[in-house]
Structure formats: C-alpha cells, structure tokens
C-alpha cells in the first residue's frame, strides 16, 4: 500500500503557447484529471516547436520522472515534431504504424476526405510505440518507454486531449495499482463568487475537517466546489461536509459532477412534461444556444425568438408600440410583454425574456451599461426583476443568459427564496 508516488512531469510544446497567442489550458486539464487517480504533476516545462530544445528537455525529464506526458506536436504540419523527437531520444526509427494508419483512413473515410501526405505523416510513430486511441481527432496518441520512464504523447487540440484522457486515466489508474485514489465530489453552483463562498464556509464551518480538502473553480457562469479526500476511510466525513455545504449554499447548488444549468433546466422540464421558450434581446440567442447544445433538448425547447430591434419586438412578439414608447425597450413592461408574446407564439409553458444594455455603447445615466430586465415563469405567474452586471459585453451576455436559466430552474423547483445575485446585482 505504501507504494512511492509516481513522479510525473509534463512537457508542453507549441510556438503559439510560447508566443502567448494561446493560453495553455491543457496542462491544467491534465493535472485535474490525474488528480482523480491521486497522481500529482510536480513539474512542467514548455518550449516552442524546436527539435533540439525538445530533445534536451525530454531526455532530462525521462531521467528524473516515472511518467512524462507530452502535449502538442502531433498534427500533420512541419512544426509538429513530437514523434520525431521521441524517436530520436529513444534511438529508434520512425515507421508507419498500421493501427495509426487504419485510424487515419477511417477518419478520412467517415469525413469523405482524401488521405493526403500531410495527414499520412500522423501515422509515423517511433518504432515500438503503443497507440493511444483518439476518439475524436485524426492523430492518435502513443506511448513509448525511455529507460524506466513511460512517455505518453497527447494532442494539443483541447477537445481531442479531453477525449483521450479518459483512456489514459483509466489505464494509469489500473496499471499503477494505486491505493484507492483520491475521492472527489464536485458541486456546481451559480450565483456564488469564490471569495464569498470561502468566507461563508470559514464563518459557518470553522471546524471543517482537514482531511477534506476544499477547492474552488470559478468559471463563467458557474463555480465548482470540490471536496477531495485522499483516502476512502474519510468518505463519511466527505458526505458530512457535502451535507453542510448544501445547507449553507442552499438552492445556489445546481447539481453534482459536471451538471450545467441548461442541462438541469431541461431535465426538470422533461420530468414535468413542460416546455420552455425564449425571447431574447441583449443575450441575442445565447440562452437558446445554451439549451440546444444539450442533446435531446428538442423535447422541451421548441422555439426561441431573438428580437433585437424594437419593431421586431412588436411584429414578432406583439409588444405594444405604446409600451415601447412609454417605458423604453429595457423595462419591466416590455420584458413582460415579450414573455407573454413568446409563450403564445410558441405555445410553451414557461418563458424567459430579457432586455438589457450589453454595451459598450447604449447606456444612459438612468439605465447604465449592464442594466437588464428579466421576466420569467408561466403566463399566470410571470415574475420580473431588474439587475445590473456592469462587465464586458460577452461576459454580460453569459451571466445574464445563465441567470435566466437559473430563474427558470428556481421556478420549476418552486423555490421561493431569493438568490444572492438579486441583492448583489441589484440595479440602482
């Protein structure tokens, strides 16, 4: 059981990462996925697409690590050097790997593409390498031993890396025969900030057990809270902390694992046999898009309306010209009429309507950039609210769209308590 922890290093390659044109999020993803099987990355090195530099780093790393994961450089272009570098350091030739070639051929066939020479380069692997399946991309990953060190080569395209890591994590978890790994429990929340969540926990739960490590990952729009323990002996403690957090954060918790707001809303709608429609001005289709990203969303979402201009609010949703003239497009009366119009047009049970000022232009002293009116719910029980998110346009749209979905979630669950963002994002 008291097996030594494997020493794991990452080698990242890519001129676009060195130049800062791309922010590397892959190494964070790798670290998080390895943490699931209690493996810690203790060092990472990044260099550009340079043969000599890559060879020197790899040779040094392999001499000091049990596992090296290389990320990037698997593509078809001349600046993709990983296979060649690994072959050189290992002192073996490159040769066309039948399994990699078969994968490429199938990949091209499915897409009706010719297998050209540049693509075919991706089947050239160091002799003796084991193929690691790439479920979504053209270039397979591969593994080769350098002395006592396992070198795993993975693609730089984030979606491909993500898909490949499932296999790698399963394989490493199995082959390293780790003692029962780190148990991680994740909660998805909306409407909580990192520092306020931390403060709430410190204040309310001063006796937090040290065995249950607490982590926060603030994304836009959701924040993830992670409860992590090193040993399964502490599972009851983890469960207890989980219950305490649910009590503390209440209905700001959307769900466990990777639950996304749109997914949760669709699930609740389907359970109740209800449908939802959207009437969007400032979010411009983003709420509809978040919903329809979810497979199977067509069951509960049939229609959405992007009514950006005033005359469209009238012609498509039946908002009265007089209402627009008297109150302006960003007003309680207009979002109410938008929601009712959308409900009628779509024949839906629930609606969410938003109208606001996304900026950077269009603000006024009375209605500054960031102001937004929302209306949501069923026709006979429509609720409205004015909030203010004075942030950059795209983040404003993301947060407002998520708030709309969150308010529908709350309505579907029959929650009556106010979310924290009602007071924190109150329009002045």
- 257 touches its own copies by CB under 8 A: no
Contact positions with its own copies (CB under 8 A) in 260-319 = 278, 280, 282-289, 291-293, 295-298, 301-309, 311-312, 315-316
Based on the shown chain and the rule CB under 8 A, indicate whether residue 183 belongs to the binding site for its own copies.
no
CA distance readout (Å), 202 to 246, 252, 362: 15, 18, 41
Q: Residue from 112, 175, 207, 416 that binds its own copies (CB under 8 A)?
A: 112
Return the residue of 3, 19, 207, 416 that touches its own copies, per CB under 8 A. 19
CA R_g for the chain: 26
Q: Which is nearer to its own copies, 160 or 406 (CB)?
A: 160
Interacting residues with its own copies between 206 and 235 (CB under 8 A) = 214-218, 220, 226
Nearer to its own copies (CB atom), residue 175 or residue 203: 203
CB of 355 to its own copies, least distance (A): 12
**Is 23 a residue that touches its own copies (CB under 8 A)?**
yes
Cα distance between residue 256 and residue 382, in whole Å = 29
Is the CB of residue 265 less than 8 Å from the CB of residue 276?
yes
**DSSP secondary structure letter of residue 327:** H
- Residues 387-416 close enough to bind its own copies by CB under 8 A: 388, 390-395, 397
Positions 347 through 376 that interact with its own copies (CB under 8 A): 347, 358-361
Q: How far is the CB of 128 from its own copies (least distance, A)?
A: 26
* Per CB under 8 A, 79 contacts its own copies: yes
Give the residue with the Cβ less far from its own copies, 92 or 303.
303
Q: Does residue 149 contact residue 67 with C-beta atoms inside 8 Å?
A: yes
Tell me if 134 contacts its own copies by CB under 8 A.
Answer: no
Nearest distance from C-beta of residue 391 to its own copies, angstroms: 8
Q: Is 134 exposed, middle or buried (0-12, 13-18, 19+ CB in 10 A)?
A: buried
Chain centroid to Cα 192, Å, comes to 17
d(CA 8, CA 33) in angstroms, rounded, equals: 13
**Nearest distance, CB of residue 233 and its own copies, angstroms:** 21
Closer residue to its own copies, CB minimum distance, 74 or 144: 74
Give yes or no for a contact between 161 and 26, defined as CB atoms under 8 angstroms apart: yes
Polymer length in residues for the chain: 428
Stretch that binds its own copies, among 113-121, 125-133, 229-237, 376-384 (CB under 8 A): 113-121
CB-count exposure of residue 162 (10 Å: 0-12, 13-18, 19+): middle
Q: What are phi and psi of 149, to 5 degrees?
A: -105, 130
């Amino acid at each position: 059981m008291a097996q030594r922890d494997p020493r794991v290093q990452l080698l990242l390659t890519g001129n676009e990462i060195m130049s800062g044109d791309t922010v590397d999020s892959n190494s964070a993803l790798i670290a998080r996925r390895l943490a699931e099987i209690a493996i810690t990355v203790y060092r990472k090195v990044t260099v550009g697409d340079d043969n000599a530099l890559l060879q020197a780093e790899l040779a040094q790393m392999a001499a000091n690590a049990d596992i090296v994961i290389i990320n990037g450089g698997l593509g078809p272009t001349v600046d993709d050097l990983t296979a060649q570098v690994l072959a050189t350091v290992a002192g073996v030739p490159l040769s066309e790997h039948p399994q990699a070639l078969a994968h490429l051929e199938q990949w091209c066939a499915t897409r009706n593409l010719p297998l050209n020479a540049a693509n075919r380069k991706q089947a050239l692997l160091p002799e003796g390498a084991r193929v690691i399946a790439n479920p979504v991309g053209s270039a397979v990953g591969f593994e080769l031993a350098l002395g006592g060190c396992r070198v795993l080569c993975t693609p730089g395209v984030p979606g491909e890396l993500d898909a490949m890591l499932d296999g790698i994590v399963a394989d490493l978890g199995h082959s390293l025969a780790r003692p029962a790994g780190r148990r991680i429990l994740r909660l998805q929340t909306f409407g909580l900030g990192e520092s306020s969540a931390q403060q709430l926990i410190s204040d309310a739960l001063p006796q937090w057990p040290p065995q249950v490590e607490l982590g926060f990952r603030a994304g836009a729009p959701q924040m993830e809270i992670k409860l992590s323990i090193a040993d399964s002996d502490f599972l009851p403690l983890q469960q207890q902390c989980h219950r305490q957090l649910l009590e503390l954060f209440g209905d700001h918790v959307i769900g466990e694992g990777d639950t996304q707001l749109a997914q949760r809303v669709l699930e609740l709608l389907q359970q109740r046999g209800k449908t939802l429609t959207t009437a969007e001005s400032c979010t411009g289709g983003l709420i509809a898009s978040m919903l329809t990203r979810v497979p199977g969303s067509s069951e509960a979402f049939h229609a959405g309306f992007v009514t950006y201009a005033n005359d469209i609010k009238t012609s498509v949703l039946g908002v009265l010209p007089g209402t627009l003239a008297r109150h302006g497009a960003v007003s309680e009366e207009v979002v109410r009429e938008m929601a009712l119009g959308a409900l009628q047009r779509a024949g839906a049970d629930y609606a969410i309507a938003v109208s606001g000022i996304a900026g950077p232009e269009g603000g006024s002293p009375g209605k500054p950039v960031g102001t937004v009116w929302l209306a949501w719910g069923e026709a006979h029980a429509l609720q409205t609210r004015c909030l203010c998110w004075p942030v950059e346009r795209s983040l404003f749209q993301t947060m407002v769209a998520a708030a709309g979905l969150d308010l529908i979630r709350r309505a579907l669950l029959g929650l009556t308590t106010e979310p924290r963002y009602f007071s924190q994002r109150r329009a002045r």
